[in-house]
Structure 1
Amino acid sequence: MTTARDIMKPGAQWISQDETVARAARVMADLDVGSIVIADENERMVGIITDRDIVVKCIARGHSPETTPARDLCEATPRWIAEDADVDEVLDSMEVHRIKRLPVIDGNKRMVGMISESDLARHLDDESLGDFVTAIYGRP
C-alpha cells in the first residue's frame, strides 16, 4: 500500500500567522516552493498561502506585503492528511476539496511533509493522474 508518507516531500516548513506576507514570500523563495503553511502560536495549522494568493489577494488589491499579516490571506478551513493514509485517501481529499497541495501530519499532529501535484505526477500511474487532473481542472 502506498501512503501519504511515501509520496510527500518531507520537511515542509511553516511560518507564524503574525509574520508578514513579505516574510512568507521570502521563505517560499528560499525553499523554492509555491506555498507555505501558516500556523498559530501553538504550531497548529490555520491555513496555507500560495504565491498566487500573494499576488491576487495582497498585491493586486493594493495591500503592502511588508505590513499585511500572513493570516489575512488564509480563507478556508485548512485540510491535511495523516502520514499513514492510503494514496486513494490523498487523491479523494484533494479532488473533493479541489486543492493542489496537502500537508501531511504524523501521529502527534505535527506537519512532516507536503504533497503537491508534482509529487502525484511522480508517483501515480497515467490513469490515476489523469483522473486527478480532470477532477481539479476539468470541472467548472
Structure 2
Amino acid sequence: MAAKCKDFMTKDPVCCLGADSAEKAAQIMKREDIGSVPVVEDSQNKKLVGIVTDRDLALRIVAEGRDPKSARVSDVMSRGLVTCPADDDAQNAIDAMENHQIRRLPVVDAAGRIVGIITQADIARRLGKDQETGKMVGEISKPKRMGGGGGR
C-alpha cells in the first residue's frame, strides 16, 4: 500500500489570519521554529487562503523598510497555493513539490481547510537519508533559471 500525504504531514499546523500583523507571523515562526505559517480565513474553519514565509517577511517587509507592526500578512502572503489532499499518494506530493519548486506543501480536506503541511524535512525523515531522498530534496531546492543577470 502506497504512503499517503497524511503519513508524511505535520498535523494541525499553527496558522495565522490575513489581518494579523507581519510581526505576529514572525513571532509565530520564532516561537515554533518554523519557516512558514499557513494563512486561514478564520480561526474556526481554517480555510486556507495563503502562506507567509520567512522569505516573504524579509523581502516584502524588512527590505522595503515597512513597519512589521502595521503591515498585514494578507499584503505579503503567497496566494493560489499548490496543495494536496490528505488521502492522496505521497508520491504525488513529492512530484508537486519538485515540479513547482516548493519546499512546503499544505495538506487540505475536501472543503479546503488546512489539516497539515508537508515539508522537505518531513519527507527526509519519513524516507530516511538514502541517496534517492537526497536527490529529491536537491531537485525541490534547485533554483529555477531566470533570464537576465548572472544569479550571483
Same fold (TM > 0.5)? yes
- Unaligned runs of at least 5 residues, structure 1: none
For residues 115 and 57 of structure 1, what CA distance do their matches in structure 2 show? Answer: 24
Question: Mapping of 1:55-66 within 5 angstroms?
Answer: 55-66=58-69
Q: What's the Cα RMSD here? A: 1.8
- Contact conserved, 2:18 with 2:72, CA < 8 A, in 1? yes
- Contact conserved, 1:91 with 1:132, CA < 8 A, in 2? no
Residue equivalent to 1:32: 33
Taking structure 2 as the reference length, what is the TM-score of the superposition? 0.82
The structure-2 alpha-carbon separation of the partners of 1:135 and 1:110, relative to structure 1 and needing over 3 Å to count, comes to closer
- Unaligned runs of at least 5 residues, structure 2: 146-152
The answer on 1:126 being equivalent to 2:131 is: yes
The amino acid of 1:32's aligned partner reads D
What is the count of residue pairs matched by the alignment?
Answer: 140
The amino acid of 1:130's aligned partner reads K
- Contact conserved, 1:46 with 1:74, CA < 8 A, in 2? no
For residues 69 and 86 of structure 2, what CA distance do their matches in structure 1 show? Answer: 35
SS of 2:67's equivalent in the other structure is coil
Of all paired residues, the percent bearing the same amino acid is 30
For residues 4 and 79 of structure 1, what CA distance do their matches in structure 2 show? Answer: 14
* Bigger radius of gyration: 2
Q: Per-residue deviation at 1:136?
A: 3.3
SS of 1:62's equivalent in the other structure is coil
The amino acid of 1:101's aligned partner reads R
Higher mean alpha-carbon deviation, 34-43 vs 58-67, is at 34-43
Q: Stretches of 4+ moved more than 2 A in 1? A: 40-44, 106-110
The amino acid of 1:75's aligned partner reads S
The amino acid of 2:135's aligned partner reads G
Taking structure 1 as the reference length, what is the TM-score of the superposition? 0.89
